[in-house]
Amino acid sequence: MSNKIIDGKAIAALMKKEIAAQVAAMIDADNEAPHLAAIIVGEDAASQTYVSSKERACHDVGITSTVYRLPENTTEKKLLEMVDFLNNDADIDGFIVQLPLPQHINTNKIIERINPAKDVDGFHPRNIGMMQLGLPTYLPATPFGIVELLHRSKVEVNGKHVVVLGRSNIVGTPVSVLLSRKSEHGNATVTLCHSQSKNLEEITKQADILIAAIGKPEFVKASMLKKGVVVIDVGIHRIADQSKEKGYRLVGDVDFDDVVTTASKITPVPGGVGPMTIVALLHNTLLASKKEIYK
């Protein structure tokens, strides 16, 4: 793949090898393999696919995984009991509750019930607070993946102007915190833009690095960017396309074909940020089993 394309699939494969070697070393030293559990409620097709990919990735690196599949009509009380069960199960090092949850369940209440030491998604308020303070914690998957992609593609972040589009709790806000933090992979000047930002193009044209996480297909055009910008595309959307065997094609928040000549580096969709997010989960599960964050 050309040097311009940030190959998330290849970087993720390399990181999986590194994790597999660490898991093998633990087992050689007579420790149990790390054990991840996932709870999925309902039949959401995308969530089913994500959870299957997470199971497969665990298997690839030697991490044990257990998936609890609960019906759509599971009550909040029942789900809280499942969370308590996993909090107290000494065999489980870490677990996730796949989102989104059905409407009748209060997501925040569920996340707050997870023992922070087992919160390998890094979604618990305590872990988010620790990230904000620059303390060791489980980083959420997508921000972790973006930081690693930039680092491993040798993109200098220190002193650069990063423009983030989108202020979600799981991507835009935490990646802004991480990249602006006084730390090895931080020290950037970060502008966080959102739906109420004015004169967006004036801001995006100043970006040395642009991170698009707004959930709008092919929103970012070359006319919004300066020559040489590094573009990280977090979006993933199915667009109907009868010329494809599946009847659709995948696009990001960035109009790739339009932007590719303007950018010095760019992540593709698929095969950019996506594969890195699963690696983050494996990485956090390993940290949990080694008790490296919560002793």
**Least separation in angstroms between CB 117 and ligand GUN:** 17
**Site for ligand GUN contains 99 (CB under 6 A):** yes
- Exactly one of 7, 93, 119, 121 binds ligand GUN (CB under 6 A); which one? 121
Q: What angle do CA 280, 187, 272 make, to 5 degrees?
A: 35
Which region among 93-101, 190-198, 250-258, 284-292 touches ligand GUN (by CB under 6 A)? 93-101
With CB under 6 A as the contact rule, the residue among 22, 65, 74, 98 that binds ligand GUN is: 98
Going by C-alpha positions, the residue among 162, 92, 159, 121 that lies closest to residue 282 is 121
Distance in Å, CB of 101 to ligand GUN, minimum: 9
Q: Which residue is nearest to ligand GUN (CB)?
A: 99
What values do phi and psi take at 222, rounded to 5? Answer: -60, -35
The footprint of ligand GUN on residues 141-170 (CB under 6 A) is: 141
Measured CA distances, 27 to 73, 285, 295 (Å): 39, 15, 20
Q: Is residue 96 within the footprint of ligand GUN (CB under 6 A)? A: yes
Find, among 147, 152, 90, the residue nearest to 115 by Cα.
Answer: 90
Annotated active-site positions, please? 54, 98, 121
**Total of chain residues touching ligand GUN, rule CB under 6 A:** 6
DSSP, residue by residue, 66-104: EEEEE-TT--HHHHHHHHHHHHH-TT-SEEEE-SSPPTT
Other Cβ atoms closer than 10 A to 134 = 13
Tell which positions 123-142 bind ligand GUN, by CB under 6 A: 141
Is the bond preceding residue 136 a cis peptide, omega within 30 degrees? no
Q: Peptide bond preceding 140: is omega within 30 degrees of 0, i.e. cis?
A: no
Q: Segment contacting ligand GUN (CB under 6 A): 25-33, 92-100, 151-159, 210-218?
A: 92-100
- H-run or E-run covering 200: helix 200-204
The first and second tokens of residue 9, run together, are 């699939």
Reduce the DSSP state of residue 202 to 3 states and report it.
helix
Specify the residue, 85 or 200, whose C-beta has the smaller distance to ligand GUN.
85
119 near ligand GUN, judged by CB under 6 A: no
Q: Which stretch binds ligand GUN (CB under 6 A): 96-104, 128-136, 218-226, 246-254?
A: 96-104
- Tell me which stretch binds ligand GUN (CB under 6 A): 90-98, 214-222, 237-245, 246-254: 90-98
Q: How far is the CB of 57 from ligand GUN (least distance, A)?
A: 13
Question: In the complex with ligand GUN, which residue's Cβ is closer, 11 or 97?
Answer: 97
Q: How far is the CB of 139 from ligand GUN (least distance, A)?
A: 11
Q: Using the Cα atoms of residue 93, residue 99, residue 101 and residue 107 in order, give the sign of their dihedral.
A: positive
C-beta of 47: minimal distance to ligand GUN in Å? 7
Name the site residues for ligand GUN (rule: CB under 6 A).
96-99, 121, 141
